[in-house]
Structure formats: structure tokens, C-alpha cells
Amino acid sequence: MSAAPVHRYLGADGARDPYTPFVGCCAATVEHYDLDLDYDVEDNGLEARAVLTCRALRDTDRIELDLTELAVTDARVGGGGLGGLLGPRKVGVQHRGSRLVLTLPRPVAAGESFVLTVAYEGYPESLDGPWGEIGWAELDDGVLVAGQPTGSSTWFPCVDHPSHRATYRVSVHADADYEVVVHGELESVAERDGERHWVYTSRVPLPPYLATVQIGPYRRSELTGSRVPQYLVCSKKRQKKAEKTFAEQGRMLEAFTEWFGPYPFPSYTVVVVDESLEDPFECFACSVFGKNQLGTDWEEQRLVAHELAHQWFGNSLVLASWQDIWLNEGFASYAEWVWSEASGDKPARWHAEKAHRTLSRMRQDLLIGDPGQVRLFDDVVYVRGALTVHALREALGEEAFRGMLRGWVAAHRDGWVSTAGFREHLRSWAPPQRWAELDGLLDAWLLRPELPALPAPARR
Ligand SMILES: [Zn+2]
């Protein structure tokens, strides 16, 4: 794993991500979340316990976590000599807005491990903000959780920034009529007294925003076409259309494996909810689509490719700071064109020229290398991000570009990425006399508003 950016972005200097300054913790990080959720689908009531294995980043007796709306009923600390004779000791709790401030019975030293246990309950709700509604959302019949970028505090106490990654064990008790999907691998499911108890684990550390819970009157089936196990979770009435929609996904997985390297996780699950969504979205080893996003036309198939590609770009290679969002969205959007080309449809160059014409007619006022908090998910970040990747393909030539791309993924698998790191990486794929040109290319596409011309096709 590449070096933890926790120290750089949220560390001893107290600096927070300027895009999301209201979340995170400078004093400690969470290395493992063990969540026990007892959920009543009918009234959206949640009773839960979170056991957080933490490590202090500096000497402190105060830990800040993100937790919105839900009421803390008990909080204790143990482990590392912090417990008392009778087990974990109570900690002081102050809960203001979405900040949960816990005061430990004695200070912990930098590097020291300890375990926080937080019991909480309530009726989780989504958060409304600059990025629309995020977090836990009650559906007509079930639940959807879309954590990006700071929605995870709506369902568990966490350090809600991608520079803090942790492993997970999540257990969910819910009515037996419902299927429950959580990020990670399904370890067990048992039924008793009309309830089902689901246990999921993730051994690959992930940022809180990629953690998810999806609950609905769904059923689970297996998709074919790849060596990677793929699951489809949807209601019976959508099964046929969903199967058609994801029929090519196995081939996509194989094509992306060739382009980007091995699929990073043990399996991939797609969930189709019974409601319309503005956009599908990615979670850890999972993606969620609305009923309105099913179909076999290019407009739907490109979304299938896009969300799948996020498993490499965003979920395995995680952003160290939100400013570099183009490294997620630009590459996932470029993967749509890669799939078009790999499936024998139009080449990436065709899509790039079309996208370039579209952007050239729009106002050019966004720096995709620093889009700002409000325009973090602006369409321009996606399209111009993909064009940036294509411009690099033309500049490097086919062989070097593909090597560079695979090398980028391999070097940062399960690690963090940044634009600065990407610049460094690019240099290793070009002779020193071309470094200034490549730097200039990135500056023009990422850090200046005017749309650069698309480079001429490289000689193949
Ligand atoms: Zn995306």
C-alpha cells in the first residue's frame, strides 16, 4: 500500500481537506469498524453498536467522529490499557450537529491503539448539501446508502474522509423478506424468528464513503462471462431487463482486466433499486443503479462500464484528497470509451472528438484539477477528465500509454493517489526531454479553464 496520507492531510498539523473541512479527525484514525445494525425496515428504526479499533495520530484525550442525527446511548473505551477492572470505561460524550466529541479517561500517546464502542439509535436520514442528498435514504420499500463524499456519518460513527481507510465487519438484522447487501464479502446469513442475520466482511481497507447498505425486496442471482464472481440483486419484476442490461458486464470485466490489470476485489455486485436515480453510483465491490438506468443502448451500457471501472479508479486507487476527483471520474469516464473500442464499437478517438466538440460549445470556467467544493461532481470534470486521459494516449503513443495505465493501477493498488503522484508516474513513461511537454499538457487540461485542442492521433 502506498504511504498513508493521513499524516499529510489530517495529521498533526491539524489541516483538513479544504473541500470537506467539516468532517474528519486530526487526532486519531480508525483501522477497523465492527458494526452491528438492527434495522426495522417498516419504520426505518435503527439500533446499532459500532466497535472502532483506533490508532492515535498524536497525543490526545479527545477524539472527534462524524455522526449525524443519530443519538448516542453509550460510549466506552477499552484496549491498550484504557479499560478499567470491569472492562471498557465510559468516555465523555458531546454531540453537536454532526460532530461527536469523545473525551477519554486518560490521554493516549501518538501511535497507541484503543477500542471505542459506541451504542446509538434513531431514524437515519440523508444529508442535503452541495452534492444533493447523500447517505442513508429510506426508499418506499427498503434502503439505499450513497456515501460519496461525506454521507457515511448518517449511519455509523466514522472518520469520514478517504484518507482514512479501514477494514470492516458489518452484521445486519432485518426482516427475512428483505435482501441485504453490504460492501465486502457475504460471510454468513442465518434466519430465525422471521428475521435474517447477515454478516459481511471486507479485509481490504476502504474509505467510509464506499461503505454501503442496500436493503429491498430483492433476490440475488449470479451473472456469467468472467472469472470474477458477479452478482445481480434486484426485485423479481426487474430481473429480465436487468439481466439483459448486465449481460455484457462479464466481457467488460475481462476487457478492463486486460487494460487496467486484475480486478481488485473478490467479487462484484450490482444492485438495481425499484426507484429512479439521477445517476448510478459506485460502492466498494458494488454499484447501484436506478430502475431508469436499465437498457442495452449505449447510454445505459456506458454507465455499466463507468461504474465497473470505478472499482479500479476510486475504490482500489483511492483519492488522498477530494481536489483530485478527476483521477476517479476522468478515468472511469475514459473506461466507457475503452469499452466501446474493446467491444468492436466506435474507437475512443471518435468519442473524444465528439466530447471535445460538446465541451467547446460550453462555457469554459472550470479547473478540473481544482473544481472546488460545489462543482466537485460537475459533468465537465467527467468529460474533460476523460479527454485528458485521451490526450495522454495520443501524446504517449499506444504502447507507452497502455503500459503507463497498467503501471499506475499496479503501483497504487489498495493505496492512495494524487495528481502530484500521477505527474511523477507519467515521467517514468517518457524520456526526460519530454517531461516538460507532459507537465505542460497536464497543466493545460487540469489547471487552466480554456479547452486545449485535442492532440493529433499518435502514430501507431
Ligand atoms: Zn463516476
Amino acid 459: pLDDT: 56
The answer on 183 and 158 residing in a single domain is: yes
How confident is the prediction for the chain on average, in pLDDT? 94
The answer on pLDDT for 146 being more than 70 is yes
The answer on 188 and 62 residing in a single domain is: yes
Amino acid 3: pLDDT: 46
In CATH, what number is assigned to the domain containing residue 73? 2.60.40.1730
Q: Give the Cα separation of 14 and 279 in Å (integer).
A: 35
Q: Domain for residue 168, yes or no?
A: yes
Place 79 in a pLDDT band, splitting at 50, 70 and 90. confident
The answer on pLDDT for 2 being more than 90 is no
The answer on 79 and 165 residing in a single domain is: yes
In CATH, what number is assigned to the domain containing residue 299? 1.10.390.10
Lowest mean pLDDT among 11-25, 32-46, 395-409: 11-25
The answer on pLDDT for 369 being more than 90 is yes
Question: Last residue of a domain, which of 213, 233, 268?
Answer: 213
Percent of the chain surpassing pLDDT 70 = 96
The answer on 328 and 307 residing in a single domain is: no
The answer on pLDDT for 10 being more than 90 is no
Q: Which of 179, 282, 307, 336 is catalytic?
A: 307
Amino acid 338: pLDDT: 98
The answer on pLDDT for 27 being more than 70 is yes
Q: Domain for residue 63, yes or no?
A: yes
Residue span of the structural domain in which 358 resides: 319-446
The answer on 360 and 275 residing in a single domain is: no
The answer on pLDDT for 298 being more than 50 is yes
pLDDT digits (tens, 9 = 90+) for 87-122: 889 999 999 989 999 999 999 999 999 999 999 999
> Terminal CA-to-CA distance of the chain, rounded, Å?
34
pLDDT digits (tens, 9 = 90+) for 396-432: 999 999 999 999 999 999 999 999 999 999 999 999 9
The answer on 228 and 206 residing in a single domain is: no
Q: Measured in angstroms, how far is the CA atom of residue 162 from the centroid of ligand 1?
A: 16
Examine the residue annotation and report whether 179 is marked as an active-site residue of this protein.
no
The answer on 185 and 199 residing in a single domain is: yes
Domain count, the chain: 3
The answer on 223 and 370 residing in a single domain is: no
Q: Measured in angstroms, how far is the CA atom of residue 156 from the centroid of ligand 1?
A: 24
Q: Measured in angstroms, how far is the CA atom of residue 368 from the centroid of ligand 1?
A: 14
Q: Domain for residue 61, yes or no?
A: yes
Amino acid 457: pLDDT: 80
The answer on 348 and 251 residing in a single domain is: no
Q: Which of 9, 178, 209, 382 is catalytic?
A: 382
Q: Measured in angstroms, how far is the CA atom of residue 314 from the centroid of ligand 1?
A: 9
Q: Determine if residue 306 is labeled as part of a ligand binding site.
A: yes
Q: Measured in angstroms, how far is the CA atom of residue 328 from the centroid of ligand 1?
A: 7
Place 15 in a pLDDT band, splitting at 50, 70 and 90. low
Question: Last residue of a domain, which of 213, 236, 265?
Answer: 213
The answer on 424 and 326 residing in a single domain is: yes
What pTM does this model have?
A: 0.95
Q: Domain for residue 152, yes or no?
A: yes
Q: Determine if residue 121 is labeled as part of a ligand binding site.
A: no
The answer on 420 and 361 residing in a single domain is: yes
Q: Determine if residue 173 is labeled as part of a ligand binding site.
A: no
Examine the residue annotation and report whether 382 is marked as an active-site residue of this protein.
yes
Amino acid 58: pLDDT: 92
Question: Last residue of a domain, which of 273, 289, 311?
Answer: 311
The answer on 434 and 383 residing in a single domain is: yes
Q: Measured in angstroms, how far is the CA atom of residue 317 from the centroid of ligand 1?
A: 13
Q: Give the Cα separation of 359 and 372 in Å (integer).
A: 19
